[in-house]
Every structure is written in structure tokens, then in C-alpha cells.
């Protein structure tokens, strides 16, 4: 590369705001994991993809595992945003179906990252479980609000929603792995299950009449 190009690249790197450099490393890690990079990919390779100095990875994240944790948290934060209601969803049922559909579509779009980091634990467990629990708790809060349930939730209803989120993810996995499953029918099934389990938890939580 001509020296003036090197100088331009260095000036561009130095001019990049700190937030942008940190996010560039996160974006590079997500891209490389999704593309099939192995768990022993070097910090230097990630830094090169991000276009930032090698040492900044350790400055922002301590080590590569810290970067993987931050990348997962970044993706899960986007999942929370994606699951939000749309203006055309005017009924509780429509909002719940929209939540479920966008959840499944998001997992589909980030399938490689989800499988390698979450399911296969290829990049280690440190920090991953915490990020997943936070994302699940946020998803539970979201779906409770969409269903117009009371806040705070009755204990049995809270347990029902927690169990249902596991059903949601397992059904999403089955959808990806089964060629002849229809998305609309899968979404309807998952919402039917939500309505049934919430109805049961509400009735049982009210006690004998």
C-alpha cells in the first residue's frame, strides 16, 4: 500500500470517535463469527477487520472473550428492539403474533451466531449465560406488557411466562430444522400456547372460588 494511503488510514482511525471504535470491534466480531471464524481467531484479525489498533480490543474488552460477550449482548439488545410492537398491530393477539414472528425472524437472521455462541458454546461460557438471562428477562417484560398483564405480575403468571419463553425458543429451533413447518402456523401455535398458559396461571393463581 502506498505510504500516503497508510497515512490516510491511520488518520481515519485516529479521527474515529471512541464509541465508533468500540462498536467497530463488536461489529467485526459478529461478522467474523457469523462467517465461520474459529474460536481461536486472533484479536489481531478482529482488529484488522474493524480497522482499529490492536491494543484497543484489550482496552475496551480486557480480552477476546469479553469482546464475544459484548457482541452477544449487542445482538440481544437488537433482538429486544426488533420484538417491539408495530403501529398496525392494534389488538393484543396481533401484537403477540408480531412479537413471536419477529423473534423467529431475528433468530433466523442471526442463526450462525446463535448456534455457535449460545447452543454450541464454541466461544466459551463466560458472560454468555448472564447476557442470555438478561435478554430473556427483557423478553418476558415485553410480552407481559404486550398482553396487557398487571405489573407486577402475579407469581404464577410470571412463572408461566418464563416457561413459555423456553417453548418459544424450542419451537423456533424446530421451525428452522423442519422443512415443512409453516411460519404462520408456527406463530399461531406459539401464541395459542401463551394464551392457554396465561389463562391457566391466572385462574389457578386466583385460588378456589
| pLDDT tens digits, one per residue of 33-74 | 888 887 778 899 999 999 999 999 999 999 888 888 888 889
Superfamily (CATH H level) for 71-205: Tetracycline Repressor, domain 2 (1.10.357.10)
How large a percentage of the chain has pLDDT more than 70? 87
The structural domains of the chain, with segments of one domain joined by +, span 3-61, 71-205
Q: Average pLDDT, whole number, for the chain?
A: 87
90-95 CB contacts, 8 Å cutoff, 24+ apart: 92/146, 92/147, 92/148, 93/191, 95/146, 95/147
73-102 confidence digits (pLDDT tens): 898 889 989 999 999 999 999 999 999 999
Query: For 3-61, which CATH class?
Result: mainly alpha
Report helix angle 92-109 to 155-177, nearest 10.
50
Can you give the pTM of this predicted structure? 0.81
Predicted confidence (pLDDT) per residue in 197-206, tens digit: 999 999 998 7
Amino acid at each position: 500500500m502506498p505510504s500516503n494511503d497508510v497515512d490516510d488510514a491511520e488518520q481515519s482511525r485516529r479521527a474515529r470517535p471512541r464509541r465508533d471504535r468500540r462498536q467497530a470491534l463488536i461489529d467485526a466480531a459478529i461478522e467474523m463469527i457469523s462467517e465461520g471464524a474459529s474460536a481461536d481467531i486472533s484479536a489481531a484479525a478482529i482488529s484488522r477487520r474493524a480497522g482499529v489498533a490492536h491494543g484497543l480490543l484489550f482496552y475496551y474488552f480486557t480480552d477476546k472473550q469479553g469482546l464475544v460477550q459484548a457482541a452477544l449482548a449487542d445482538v440481544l439488545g437488537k433482538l429486544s428492539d426488533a420484538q417491539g410492537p408495530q403501529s398496525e398491530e392494534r389488538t393484543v393477539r396481533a401484537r403477540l403474533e408480531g412479537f413471536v414472528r419477529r423473534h423467529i425472524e431475528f433468530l433466523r437472521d442471526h442463526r450462525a451466531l446463535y448456534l455457535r455462541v449460545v447452543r454450541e458454546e464454541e466461544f466459551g461460557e463466560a458472560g454468555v449465560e448472564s447476557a442470555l438471562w438478561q435478554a430473556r428477562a427483557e423478553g418476558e417484560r415485553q410480552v407481559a406488557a404486550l398482553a396487557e398483564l398487571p405489573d407486577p405480575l402475579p407469581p404464577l403468571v410470571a412463572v408461566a411466562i418464563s416457561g413459555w419463553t423456553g417453548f418459544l425458543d424450542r419451537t423456533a429451533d424446530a421451525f428452522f430444522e423442519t422443512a415443512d413447518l409453516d411460519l404462520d402456523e408456527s406463530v399461531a401455535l406459539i401464541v395459542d400456547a401463551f394464551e392457554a398458559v396465561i389463562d391457566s396461571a391466572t385462574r389457578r393463581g386466583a385460588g378456589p372460588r
